[in-house]
Structure 1
Amino acid sequence: MIEVENLTKRYGGHAAVDDVSFVVRPGQVTGFLGPNGAGKSTCMRMMTGLTPPTSGTATVLGRPYAALPNPGRHVGVLLDAGAQHSGRTGREVLSLGATLMGLDRSRVEEMLALVGLTAKEADRRVGGYSLGMRQRLGIAHALLGDPQVLILDEPANGLDPAGIRWMRSLLRGYADDGGTVLLSSHLLHEIEVVADELVVIGRGRIVAAGSKAELMRAAGTVVRTTDDAAFAGHLRGAGLSVEQTAGGLLVDTDAETVGKIAATHAVVLTELRAADAGSLEEMFLQLTASDAREGWRHEHRR
């Protein structure tokens, strides 16, 4: 389990992370979402003892990361795949990690096979690796010590579609076996497919958190009628927020409430349902709009 309580990091007058609290539970993949620069990486660096917090605490398995004995045996971390030693081979990187953790060298071969790096690729210097190969090597290193917890920052960067599917399957299986996974990304779609819980950060603060089902309910209701414009007036008259979308009206309440208003005004409904993932994406964009760069918006919608 990972527990973050009132975590704050200030650089001068700027709060990169501002009073952040959330829990990542065993047996689940928790997606940590937000635009580039929203504070995800700073949070994860504080969780893993690389950046001291200004205030607040972060514990992994009940202790600060730095207090864990032989931390690689308990927590697998991938924060920057590009930071690996370019002059070593992939096998040497893992062998060094195995030695430091007190592991048998056979574990290195197991991890190379698990992440799909061939013997030839493993004997190449990391400086000649593609970003996708570096990501696979980084995931292998994170899993090397058979940890209970994984903390991964943007692990899908550089992976092709087949690699992303492989990564999802790997992390899903890890969580299903009782592991704890915190997975950060600025791409909603890559996370929502595998995540059980979502934590959304914008401008250093948590702007939404909960299960996908909870956040989708919070995203509202989609309704279509024989006269959307007239029904939108009735909904606004009831004090509800209404947005016209290509798929109908998006209303910030539950379907039952919308149905009752329709019945009161004898409105014929042609569709009534909870907002889907597309509307959830719109909600995320709105929640993080002040922190989102245009490039993130475009990537987010791919």
Structure 2
Amino acid sequence: MILVESLTKKYGAFTAVDDITFTAQSGRVTGFLGPNGAGKSTAMRAMVGLTRPTAGRATIDGKDYTSLGNPGREVGVLLDASAQHNGRTGREILSLSAATMGLPKQRVAEMIALVGLTDEEAGRRVRNYSLGMRQRLGIAAALIGDPRVLILDEPANGLDPAGIRWMRDLLRGYANRGGTVLLSSHLLHEIEVIADDLVVIGRGRIVAQGTKEELLAGAGTLVRTPDADALATQLAGQQISATPVDGGLLVDADPAAVGQAALEAAVPLTELRPADGAGLEDMFLELTADTAREGVSA
């Protein structure tokens, strides 16, 4: 389990992470979401001792990461797949990790096979790896110690569709066996498919958290119409908020109230349904509309 308590990180006058608190539970995948620059990577670096927080703390099964005697055996970490020694081969990098953790040599071959690298690829210098191969190597390094907790920042970057499916199945199986997974990704569909819980951050602060079902169920109503402006005006007159999303409106009201407003405004509807069916992307865009820097999730 990962417990983050009032975690704050400031750089001078700039607050990158602002008093965030959440828990990533054992046996579950927790999606950690937010726009570019929201503070996700800073928070994850603080969790594993790479960035010292200004205030608050993060613990792994009740302990600070820096106090773990053999951290790779307890926490698997992938924060930047490009941060690997370009002059070494993939097999050498895993062999060094195994030796550092006191693992048997055969563990290296097991990890190479698990992540789908061939023997020829494992023998190449990392400078000759594609981004997808670096990601697979990074996953192997994170898993080699058979840890109870995984902290992964954008692990699917550079993977093709088959690789993304492989990643999803790997992490789902890991959580089903009791492991803790904290996963940051800009691939919202993949998070929607795999995550049990969601933590959404914007400008360093948590804007929403809960189970995936709770957050999606609380997203309101999705409505689409050829005359969205007229419907939005009608809803505003009834003190009902509506947010434009992907050619429609995400409305903070139940479908019956939205349908009645459309009838009163004589506006035809092409779609009207609870927003839990609208998916994670619409919910994410609504929650982070005031905090996104580029209008793109990351």
Provide TM-score, normalisation by structure 2: 0.89
Structure 1: runs of 5+ lacking an equivalent: none
Matched residue type, 2:168: R
Q: Deviations over 1:153-175 (max 9, x none)?
A: 11111111111111011101111
Identity between Structure 1 and Structure 2 (%): 68
Q: Secondary structure of the residue that 1:136 maps to in structure 2? A: helix
**Counterpart in the other structure of 2:5:** 5
Q: Deviations over 1:119-145 (max 9, x none)?
A: 111111111111111100000010001
**Counterpart in the other structure of 1:159:** 159
Q: How far apart are the structure 1 equivalents of 2:109 and 2:199?
A: 35
Q: Deviations over 1:10-35 (max 9, x none)?
A: 00000011111111001111111112
Equivalent residues in 2 for 1:30-45, closer than 5 Å: 30-45=30-45
Q: How far apart are the structure 2 equivalents of 1:226 and 1:148?
A: 51
Structure 2: runs of 5+ lacking an equivalent: none
**Counterpart in the other structure of 2:240:** 240
Equivalent residues in 2 for 1:89-100, closer than 5 Å: 89-100=89-100
**Counterpart in the other structure of 1:27:** 27
Q: How far apart are the structure 1 equivalents of 2:188 and 2:245?
A: 20
Distance 1:118 1:204, change over 3 A: same
Q: How far apart are the structure 2 equivalents of 1:292 and 1:235?
A: 25
Q: How far apart are the structure 2 equivalents of 1:224 and 1:268?
A: 9
For the 8 Å contact 1:219–1:280, the answer to whether it is kept is: no
For the 8 Å contact 1:217–1:254, the answer to whether it is kept is: no
Corresponding residue pairs, total: 298
Q: Deviations over 1:144-197 (max 9, x none)?
A: 011110000111111111111110111011111111000112332232221111
**Counterpart in the other structure of 2:174:** 174
For the 8 Å contact 1:219–1:279, the answer to whether it is kept is: no
Shift of 1:276: 4.2
**Counterpart in the other structure of 1:67:** 67
Matched residue type, 1:68: L
Q: How far apart are the structure 1 equivalents of 2:293 and 2:245?
A: 23
1:132 aligns with 2:146: no
For the 8 Å contact 1:203–1:288, the answer to whether it is kept is: no
Q: How far apart are the structure 1 equivalents of 2:66 and 2:109?
A: 28
1:288 aligns with 2:288: yes
For the 8 Å contact 2:245–2:285, the answer to whether it is kept is: no
Distance 1:229 1:12, change over 3 A: closer
Shift of 1:240: 1.5
Equivalent residues in 2 for 1:72-91, closer than 5 Å: 72-91=72-91
For the 8 Å contact 2:87–2:127, the answer to whether it is kept is: yes
**Counterpart in the other structure of 1:14:** 14
Equivalent residues in 2 for 1:120-269, closer than 5 Å: 120-223=120-223, 235-243=235-243, 249-255=249-255
For the 8 Å contact 1:33–1:187, the answer to whether it is kept is: no
Q: Secondary structure of the residue that 2:52 maps to in structure 1? A: coil
Shift of 1:221: 1.2
Q: How far apart are the structure 1 equivalents of 2:85 and 2:248?
A: 52
Q: Secondary structure of the residue that 1:168 maps to in structure 2? A: helix
Distance 1:152 1:231, change over 3 A: closer
Matched residue type, 2:3: E
Moved more, 143-152 or 207-216: 207-216
Matched residue type, 2:172: R
Q: Secondary structure of the residue that 1:56 maps to in structure 2? A: strand
1:50 aligns with 2:89: no
Q: Secondary structure of the residue that 2:194 maps to in structure 1? A: coil
Matched residue type, 2:62: G
Q: How far apart are the structure 2 equivalents of 1:231 and 1:261?
A: 7
Alignment root-mean-square deviation, CA: 2.8
Q: How far apart are the structure 1 equivalents of 2:201 and 2:76?
A: 22
Q: Secondary structure of the residue that 2:82 maps to in structure 1? A: helix
Shift of 1:239: 2.5
Shift of 1:256: 6.1
Q: How far apart are the structure 2 equivalents of 1:87 and 1:12?
A: 36
Distance 1:272 1:122, change over 3 A: same
Matched residue type, 2:191: I
Provide TM-score, normalisation by structure 1: 0.87
